Chains A and B, each alone.
Chain A
């Protein structure tokens, strides 16, 4: 178990003073992931809020070696770094134990970077890929992605007079990554820091690729008060909108069971991006959204139970 007392003494790799918005979930997720490390690490970032706000030339917030290449190729880029490491280590030109991690937003991961990620995972590089999922293209002004929840109001899925926000449901990227049969896949939330750090530790420890999908609330895009980021991610977990689980060598385990599953509206209500759903006439849609969450949660529990029974 990660102990808070120990974690707070870890040197920070992502240093303070970067320019992400106050209350942004992404750097919290990143710092929790990096707290799991004991070895030196090379970090790669996809283009997105995290990258543009932490590396404004001539400054950098990264105390580790860092590379940003483009938007859709963080996985391929870090796979190249890892290949270089293998080669130079084999030749005796590098002797240290070094870890490799890539961070991509949901846009850079679920959408434009999915092919690059899938390729890298299939090839089996010893790397960790972390998606910080804030549910939209925040850097370019809150456009919908395939991670955007159904019904959310974004600048390219605006809640209009006839269309109430994003029509399509979220893509289940964690399941897609699990289908790659890589050694470790997990879904985590910064509200459950202990669970998150443990998962990151496992991800860095396994031989081969690991994937972490981490919810990273965005006060600007989701339209809630910046101080409530952790609360927002906790509500996502407690409503089972964002279940916490892991798949280790093919075995699925739910790592946190909410004592009492909260209604989805507890999560939707405080967020401006869902405000229109509470207007008259959208009751049916709210019911559908709840039904969708229930269905996915039941399926997940069944998969977990199935494996326990085995």
Chain B
């Protein structure tokens, strides 16, 4: 299956009450596959073919508030068009799950992968899970639902997968039995559904300086709670499927002195680079971050503490002039944690620019030099770009 097929298949197995979605490359297949499930009567979902992503998220919010398991899917400009409602979905504490097929945000317009879309939405109050391959995207879908609907969390979740690289590439997939999925996700029991007309609630009132702050504080607390819930859900998922997940994955990190930290599909490539350098006798490793929100700062700092130097790979530019978003979060997690590695940032793959093993080996070499020199000369590098 392709990544998109895997996600669409997960949606079919979840069989949500409502999906409201709008097509955009490279997410389109998901909407198309799902349309045929609906047309063939394979799901019980009400499929709302909205006229825009703004309406997709708006209708999803309406459906979720009504008491339905409601979902949508998007990419890039579609996510940008949803922006306003992303915050509203999160602040209304609606457990919406949304696959986002990562694509560069315009302009210039570009249909290929980078993380500028979801990185821009990092502070919208959504939980963000990143997937290395189609299998992870598929597995993340079910876990996302359980995390979102957990009473200690009640926050929406984005399941991110790399556009084309994952969404359109064929991969062997281990799928779950329908029965297993059904048992794992369970029946949905909404807390204050609009459709309970005998117990009317007002959703989305105006909230001034006397209460707004408390509500935001509760949202922070829910995000904090999410970390433990993500781990608990992963443990349960592993028991049922044998596939293990965490906040991040460590690859050959035990005795590593230099490491790369990256998310999504590039992690697969980076593993090959680690193997190559290990064969040459270099003590290198890899950390693949799965959960960007909530940011697992303490655990991550713990895992990186023993390194001499660390290269963060950012598939998005923040234009802060001090590196990409991932770099800034990682460095800030390390700061004050005591000691820790020298950290460099490598911004790569914007607009779908290819990244191969050779380039990541190059990153390692530069970072090994940093470790040897004991200082960072060049904090932010742009990889594989004509300057």
Instruction: Kindly provide the distance from the CB of B16 to the nearest chain A CB, expressed in whole angstroms.
Output: 9
From known contacts A73-B54, A96-B197, A122-B51, infer whether A84 and B202 are also in contact, taking CB-CB under 8 Å: no
A-side interface size class: 35 or more
Say yes or no: is B194 at the interface (Cβ < 8 Å to chain A). Answer: yes
Say yes or no: is B65 at the interface (Cβ < 8 Å to chain A). Answer: yes
Identify which of B46, B50, B66 gathers the most chain A CB atoms within 10 Å of its CB: B66
A41 contacts across to B, CB distance below 8 A: 197
A42 contacts across to B, CB distance below 8 A: 66, 194-195, 197
Q: Does A44 contact B62, Cβ atoms closer than 8 Å?
A: yes
Q: When chains A and B are docked, how far (Å) is the Cα of A40 from the Cα of B48?
A: 23
A36-52 CB contact bits vs B (8 Å, 1 = yes)? 00001110100000011
Say yes or no: is B113 at the interface (Cβ < 8 Å to chain A). Answer: no
Q: Considering only CB atoms, which chain B residue lies closest to A116 in the complex?
A: B55
Say yes or no: is B205 at the interface (Cβ < 8 Å to chain A). Answer: yes
Q: Considering only CB atoms, which chain B residue lies closest to A85 in the complex?
A: B195
Instruction: Kindly provide the distance from the CB of A107 to the nearest chain B CB, expressed in whole angstroms.
Output: 16
Say yes or no: is A72 at the interface (Cβ < 8 Å to chain B). Answer: yes
Say yes or no: is A88 at the interface (Cβ < 8 Å to chain B). Answer: yes
B166-210 CB contact bits vs A (8 Å, 1 = yes)? 000000000000000000000000000011110011111111100
Q: Does A70 contact B49, Cβ atoms closer than 8 Å?
A: no
Q: When chains A and B are docked, how far (Å) is the Cα of A83 from the Cα of B62?
A: 9
Say yes or no: is A94 at the interface (Cβ < 8 Å to chain B). Answer: yes
A113-133 CB contact bits vs B (8 Å, 1 = yes)? 001101110110000000000
List A residues 121-160 near B (Cβ within 8 Å).
122-123
Instruction: Kindly provide the distance from the CB of A239 to the nearest chain B CB, expressed in whole angstroms.
Output: 36
Instruction: Select one of A65, A77, A91 contacting B58, CB under 8 A.
Output: A77
Say yes or no: is A60 at the interface (Cβ < 8 Å to chain B). Answer: yes
List A residues 64-94 near B (Cβ within 8 Å).
64-70, 72-73, 76-81, 83-88, 90-91, 94
Q: When chains A and B are docked, how far (Å) is the Cα of A76 from the Cα of B52?
A: 10
Q: When chains A and B are docked, how far (Å) is the Cα of A118 from the Cα of B45?
A: 23
Q: Does A65 contact B195, Cβ atoms closer than 8 Å?
A: yes
A56 contacts across to B, CB distance below 8 A: 205-206, 208
Say yes or no: is B68 at the interface (Cβ < 8 Å to chain A). Answer: yes
Q: Does B51 contact A115, Cβ atoms closer than 8 Å?
A: yes
Q: Does B197 contact A68, Cβ atoms closer than 8 Å?
A: no
Say yes or no: is B275 at the interface (Cβ < 8 Å to chain A). Answer: no
Instruction: Kindly provide the distance from the CB of A122 to the nearest chain B CB, expressed in whole angstroms.
Output: 7
Q: Does A84 contact B18, Cβ atoms closer than 8 Å?
A: yes
Q: Considering only CB atoms, which chain B residue lies closest to A47 in the complex?
A: B206
B204 contacts across to A, CB distance below 8 A: 55, 67-69
Identify which of B44, B206, B208 gathers the most chain A CB atoms within 10 Å of its CB: B206
Instruction: Kindly provide the distance from the CB of A242 to the nearest chain B CB, expressed in whole angstroms.
Output: 29
Q: Does A40 contact B197, Cβ atoms closer than 8 Å?
A: yes
Q: Considering only CB atoms, which chain A residue lies closest to B22 in the complex?
A: A119
Q: Does A76 contact B59, Cβ atoms closer than 8 Å?
A: yes
List B residues 29-71 near A (Cβ within 8 Å).
44-46, 48-52, 54-55, 58-68, 70
Say yes or no: is A58 at the interface (Cβ < 8 Å to chain B). Answer: yes
B205 contacts across to A, CB distance below 8 A: 55-57, 60, 68
A to B contact number (C-beta, < 8 Å): 162
Say yes or no: is B300 at the interface (Cβ < 8 Å to chain A). Answer: no
Q: When chains A and B are docked, how far (Å) is the Cα of A55 from the Cα of B200?
A: 13
Say yes or no: is B17 at the interface (Cβ < 8 Å to chain A). Answer: yes
A64 contacts across to B, CB distance below 8 A: 197, 200
Say yes or no: is A227 at the interface (Cβ < 8 Å to chain B). Answer: no
B228 contacts across to A, CB distance below 8 A: none
Q: When chains A and B are docked, how far (Å) is the Cα of A122 from the Cα of B62?
A: 18
Instruction: Kindly provide the distance from the CB of A127 to the nearest chain B CB, expressed in whole angstroms.
Output: 11
Q: Does A84 contact B68, Cβ atoms closer than 8 Å?
A: yes
Q: When chains A and B are docked, how far (Å) is the Cα of A68 from the Cα of B92?
A: 10
A86 contacts across to B, CB distance below 8 A: 46
Say yes or no: is B319 at the interface (Cβ < 8 Å to chain A). Answer: no
Say yes or no: is B84 at the interface (Cβ < 8 Å to chain A). Answer: yes
Q: Does A98 contact B195, Cβ atoms closer than 8 Å?
A: yes
Q: Does B20 contact A80, Cβ atoms closer than 8 Å?
A: yes
Say yes or no: is A63 at the interface (Cβ < 8 Å to chain B). Answer: yes
B17 contacts across to A, CB distance below 8 A: 84, 87-88, 91
B65 contacts across to A, CB distance below 8 A: 67, 81
Identify which of A40, A57, A77, A78 gathers the most chain B CB atoms within 10 Å of its CB: A77
Instruction: Select one of B46, B51, B61, B62 contacting A118, CB under 8 A.
Output: B51
Instruction: Kindly provide the distance from the CB of A96 to the nearest chain B CB, expressed in whole angstroms.
Output: 6
Q: Does A80 contact B195, Cβ atoms closer than 8 Å?
A: no
Say yes or no: is B88 at the interface (Cβ < 8 Å to chain A). Answer: yes
Q: When chains A and B are docked, how far (Å) is the Cα of A42 from the Cα of B197?
A: 8
Q: Does B62 contact A67, Cβ atoms closer than 8 Å?
A: yes
Chain A residues with CB under 8 Å of chain B are 40-42, 44, 51-52, 55-58, 60, 62-70, 72-73, 76-81, 83-88, 90-91, 94, 96, 98, 115-116, 118-120, 122-123
Pull 30 A–B residue pairs with CB atoms less than 8 Å apart, ordered by A.
Answer: A42-B195, A42-B197, A52-B206, A56-B205, A58-B211, A66-B200, A70-B58, A70-B88, A76-B58, A77-B58, A80-B48, A80-B59, A80-B61, A81-B62, A81-B194, A84-B63, A84-B64, A84-B70, A87-B18, A88-B66, A88-B68, A88-B195, A96-B197, A98-B195, A98-B197, A115-B51, A116-B54, A119-B51, A120-B55, A123-B48
Chain B residues with CB under 8 Å of chain A are 17-18, 20, 44-46, 48-52, 54-55, 58-68, 70, 84-85, 88, 194-197, 200-208, 211
> Besides A67-B62, A80-B63, 8 other CB < 8 A contacts?
A56-B206, A57-B206, A66-B201, A67-B194, A72-B54, A81-B66, A84-B18, A122-B51
